């Protein structure tokens, strides 16, 4: 039978039914910046019974499993918000429990609320960590009040929300937090079949020196083994090596285990699903089939878009070409997703290339040929690409904060739009007499009746309520002197640039032209 997407999926779903066992919960830490997410994750990592072997060096692979006296827990240690949004973009609800971190000395802030909304939308269980309980101004009651106002009534106040007072600095309450996570997991009855073919999600991908393309996978069901062949979305892999977060090679990884693998055809994106197939040949075939399908759809969409635009007679949109570079696949995805959300009827964003790593010479060459701007996120320019950027005048924008990158790209998009001219009325003058000067031509002797008239104004000439002409002033005089401005009630002589038929009784309406930036 020919392999298709569907047959692979059907087979996997069928095998999911048997041998269900309890699996560890997958936990993400979210909250306001500086409230202690990273510190809490670190102190839990230190409490890990397995990693706790003295001197064990843990590596950042985007997730780790922690063995506690209450069982294992898988913790995502990519920035909660980034991991969460790129996973959710793909409809991948991989997080079972969100730990909402609130610094007890500061209370809930803007990003705490945002994290809470995200967790709610994903329908995950929420455990609140009231961190920094070692601080003298730690105010539990205040946080309880804020939580209640946000429909998270703490258990201590008779509600359902589990809260734990803790300190990442002193270690107080950390074991209690871990215990609460284990208890919540028990309630959730999380199950998986370790005997099934493995499937799961990509947590993050990057190029690592010495290893090449690596990706951290979270096995959600089944057991992943060394040598297994996997299909991602349009990439595939034959697992060459598998490592845990201690850098230790492992031969297999069961449900809820994160592992770093090598043997990839390319870098899969964060949140992508993977499934094990029977052979390398099948893996390649499915991935290639999807790639072809994707190209076809993109081509059709572009064509349809262009055709319907031409039919409607609309003006084609302006285009901002971008080349995106970021340190890891996760941040690249987060950046791309955030940029794609910029709405505009007038400017189209066209990401022509996106890659993990430093901004290279080939990125600069591509920027020249495609008239693109390079956006670097959490990365830098390769040393030998620097002179090329200067000599070719390529625009490179480097950012470390996603909102700044988005604002900057929005500004770049706006700068492509033509400015809108807006006329602002400044004053009016009535022509009382005309003079002919051999030197300057016809001079309109006027009296300013409203506002002011400036030398750099434009003028509309109105006769019996009809506009006869509009254009710039070439000279403005008081008696023999050139002046910059004449106020209401004062007489002046005006020479218009290119209009000589001015008559007594005409009204000169002076205006300035302001050029406004269009909104997207
Ligand atoms: P994140 O931005 O939420 O990941 O926050 P970090 O973990 O980077 O912590 C921000 C700052 O708060 C750092 O200076 C930490 O040392 C400090 N911090 C974190 N947890 C505690 C705690 O429990 N007590 C005290 N006193 N400081 C803490």
What is the full DSSP assignment across 305-316? Answer: HHHHHHHHTPPP
443 with 467, same domain: the answer is yes
| 81 pocket-lining for ligand 1 (C-beta < 6 Å) | no
| 111 pocket-lining for ligand 1 (C-beta < 6 Å) | no
- Predicted model pTM: 0.61
What is the whole-number distance in angstroms between the Cα of residue 103 and the centre of ligand 1? 8
170 with 71, same domain: the answer is yes
Residue after which a domain boundary falls, among 365, 396, 415: 415
174 with 81, same domain: the answer is yes
168 with 39, same domain: the answer is yes
pLDDT band at residue 49, thresholds of 50, 70 and 90?
low
Backbone torsions φ then ψ of 98, nearest 5 degrees:
-105, 125
- Residue from 29, 31, 34, 131 to probe ligand 1 pocket by mutation (most atoms less than 8 Å from CB): 34
Residue after which a domain boundary falls, among 171, 189, 207: 189
What is the whole-number distance in angstroms between the Cα of residue 426 and the centre of ligand 1? 57
- Residue from 30, 31, 34, 39 to probe ligand 1 pocket by mutation (most atoms less than 8 Å from CB): 39
Do the bridges between strand 258-264 and strand 212-221 make them parallel or antiparallel, or are there none, so unpaired? antiparallel
C-alpha to C-alpha distance for 258 and 139, rounded to whole angstroms? 36
12, pLDDT greater than 50: no
141 with 206, same domain: the answer is no
CB 259 within 8 A of CB 308: no
**Ramachandran sector of residue 465 (left: φ over 0; alpha: ψ -120 to 50; beta: rest):** left
- Residue-level pLDDT at 47: 72
| 226 pocket-lining for ligand 1 (C-beta < 6 Å) | no
pLDDT band at residue 181, thresholds of 50, 70 and 90?
very high
CB 154 within 8 A of CB 147: yes
What is the whole-number distance in angstroms between the Cα of residue 35 and the centre of ligand 1? 6
What is the whole-number distance in angstroms between the Cα of residue 167 and the centre of ligand 1? 9
Percent of the chain surpassing pLDDT 70: 87
- Residue-level pLDDT at 264: 94
Helices (H) and strands (E) in the chain, counts: 11, 28
| 38 pocket-lining for ligand 1 (C-beta < 6 Å) | yes
Report the candidate in 86, 97, 44 with the shortest Cα–Cα distance to residue 341: 86
- Residue-level pLDDT at 115: 87
pLDDT tens for residues 431-486? 999 998 877 788 999 999 999 999 999 999 999 889 999 999 989 999 889 999 99
For atom 10 of ligand 1, the residue with the nearest CA is: 34
Sign of the Cα torsion 361, 378, 376, 212 reads: positive
What is the whole-number distance in angstroms between the Cα of residue 258 and the centre of ligand 1? 25
167 with 34, same domain: the answer is yes
Question: Any idea what the CATH number is for the domain that residue 508 is in?
Answer: 2.40.30.10
| 132 pocket-lining for ligand 1 (C-beta < 6 Å) | yes
Question: Any idea what the CATH number is for the domain that residue 331 is in?
Answer: 3.40.50.10050
For atom 19 of ligand 1, the residue with the nearest CA is: 36
pLDDT band at residue 89, thresholds of 50, 70 and 90?
low
Strand order in the sheet with 125-131: 63-68, 71-76, 26-31, 97-103, 125-131, 162-165
Please give the average per-residue pLDDT across 319-337, as a whole number.
89
Q: Where are the alpha helices (DSSP H) in 313-351?
A: 329-340
185 with 207, same domain: the answer is no
| 33 pocket-lining for ligand 1 (C-beta < 6 Å) | yes
Range(s) of the domain holding residue 373: 316-415
- Please state, in angstroms and as integers, the Cα–Cα distance from residue 399 to each residue in 204, 252, 313, 388, 409, following that order: 20, 38, 38, 20, 11
Q: How far is CA 144 from the centre of its chain?
A: 32
Report the candidate in 188, 149, 187 with the shortest Cα–Cα distance to residue 157: 149
CB 36 within 8 A of CB 233: no
Residue after which a domain boundary falls, among 285, 314, 343: 314
C-alpha to C-alpha distance for 255 and 145, rounded to whole angstroms? 38
C-alpha to C-alpha distance for 261 and 269, rounded to whole angstroms? 14
What is the whole-number distance in angstroms between the Cα of residue 124 and the centre of ligand 1? 24
148 with 250, same domain: the answer is no
- Residue-level pLDDT at 7: 47
- Please state, in angstroms and as integers, the Cα–Cα distance from residue 161 to each residue in 31, 68, 80, 132, 202, following that order: 16, 22, 20, 19, 30
C-alpha to C-alpha distance for 176 and 64, rounded to whole angstroms? 19
C-alpha to C-alpha distance for 325 and 375, rounded to whole angstroms? 6
Look up residue 94 and give its DSSP letter.
-
The larger pLDDT score, comparing residue 415 to residue 162, is at 162
| 171 pocket-lining for ligand 1 (C-beta < 6 Å) | no
208 with 299, same domain: the answer is yes
Q: What is the CA radius of gyration of the chain?
A: 33
pLDDT tens for residues 190-207? 999 999 889 999 988 888
C-alpha to C-alpha distance for 357 and 378, rounded to whole angstroms? 9
- Residue from 36, 103, 114, 173 to probe ligand 1 pocket by mutation (most atoms less than 8 Å from CB): 36
pLDDT tens for residues 55-74? 455 667 788 888 888 889 99
Q: State the average pLDDT for the chain.
A: 86
43 with 182, same domain: the answer is yes
C-alpha to C-alpha distance for 226 and 238, rounded to whole angstroms? 8
C-alpha to C-alpha distance for 520 and 257, rounded to whole angstroms? 45
Residues near 212 by beta carbon (within 8 Å), at least 6 away in sequence: 262, 264
C-alpha to C-alpha distance for 260 and 65, rounded to whole angstroms? 12
Q: How far is CA 205 from the centre of its chain?
A: 17
3-state secondary structure at position 155: helix
Domain count, the chain: 4
Question: Any idea what the CATH number is for the domain that residue 174 is in?
Answer: 3.40.50.300
- Residue-level pLDDT at 315: 58
209 with 285, same domain: the answer is yes
111 with 10, same domain: the answer is no
3-state secondary structure at position 185: helix
């Amino acid at each position: 039978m020919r392999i298709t997407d569907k047959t692979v999926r059907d087979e996997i779903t069928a095998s999911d039914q048997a041998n269900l066992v309890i699996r560890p919960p997958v936990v993400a830490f979210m909250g306001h910046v500086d409230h202690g997410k990273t510190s809490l994750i670190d102190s839990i990592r230190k409490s890990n019974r397995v990693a706790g072997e003295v001197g064990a060096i843990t590596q950042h692979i985007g997730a780790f499993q922690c063995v506690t006296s209450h069982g294992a827990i898988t913790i995502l240690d990519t920035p909660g918000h980034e991991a969460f949004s790129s996973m959710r973009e793909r409809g991948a609800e991989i997080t079972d429990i969100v730990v909402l971190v609130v610094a007890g000395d500061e209370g809930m802030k803007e990003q705490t609320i945002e994290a809470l909304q995200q967790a709610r939308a994903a329908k995950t269980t929420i455990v609140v960590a009231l961190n920094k309980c070692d601080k003298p101004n730690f105010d539990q009651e205040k946080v309880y009040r804020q939580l209640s106002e946000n429909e998270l009534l703490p258990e201590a106040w008779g509600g359902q929300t589990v809260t734990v007072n803790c300190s990442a600095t002193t270690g107080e309450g950390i074991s209690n937090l871990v215990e609460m996570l284990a208890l919540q997991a028990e309630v959730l009855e999380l199950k998986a079949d370790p005997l099934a073919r493995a499937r799961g999600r990509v947590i993050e991908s990057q190029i690592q020196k010495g290893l090449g393309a690596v990706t951290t996978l979270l096995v959600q069901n089944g057991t992943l083994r060394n040598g297994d062949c996997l299909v991602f979305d349009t990439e595939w892999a034959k697992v060459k090596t598998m490592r845990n977060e201690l850098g230790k090679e492992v031969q297999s990884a069961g449900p809820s285990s994160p592992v770093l693998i090598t043997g990839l055809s390319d870098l899969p994106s964060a949140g992508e699903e993977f499934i094990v197939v029977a052979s390398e040949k099948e893996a390649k075939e499915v991935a290639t089939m999807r790639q072809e399908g994707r190209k076809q759809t993109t081509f059709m969409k572009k064509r349809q878009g262009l055709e319907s635009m031409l039919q409607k007679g609309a003006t084609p949109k302006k285009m901002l070409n971008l080349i995106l570079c970021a340190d890891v696949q996760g941040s690249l995805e987060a950046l791309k997703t955030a940029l794609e959300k910029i709405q505009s009827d007038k400017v189209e964003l066209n990401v022509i290339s996106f890659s993990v790593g430093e901004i290279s010479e080939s990125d600069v060459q591509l920027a020249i040929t495609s008239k693109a701007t390079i956006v670097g996120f959490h990365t830098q320019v390769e040393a030998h690409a620097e002179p090329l950027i200067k000599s070719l005048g390529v625009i490179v924008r480097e950012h470390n904060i996603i909102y700044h990158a988005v604002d900057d790209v929005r500004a770049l998009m706006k700068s492509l739009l033509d400015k809108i001219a807006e006329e602002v009325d400044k004053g009016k003058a009535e022509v009382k007499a005309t003079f002919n000067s051999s030197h300057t031509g016809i001079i309109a002797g006027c009296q300013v009746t409203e506002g002011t008239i400036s030398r750099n104004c434009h003028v509309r000439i109105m006769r019996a309520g009809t506009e006869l002409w509009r254009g710039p002033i070439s000279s403005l005089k008081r008696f023999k002197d050139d002046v910059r401005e004449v106020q209401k009630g004062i007489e002046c002589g005006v020479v218009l640039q290119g209009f000589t038929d001015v008559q007594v009784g005409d009204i000169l309406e002076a205006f300035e032209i302001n050029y406004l930036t269009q909104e997207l």
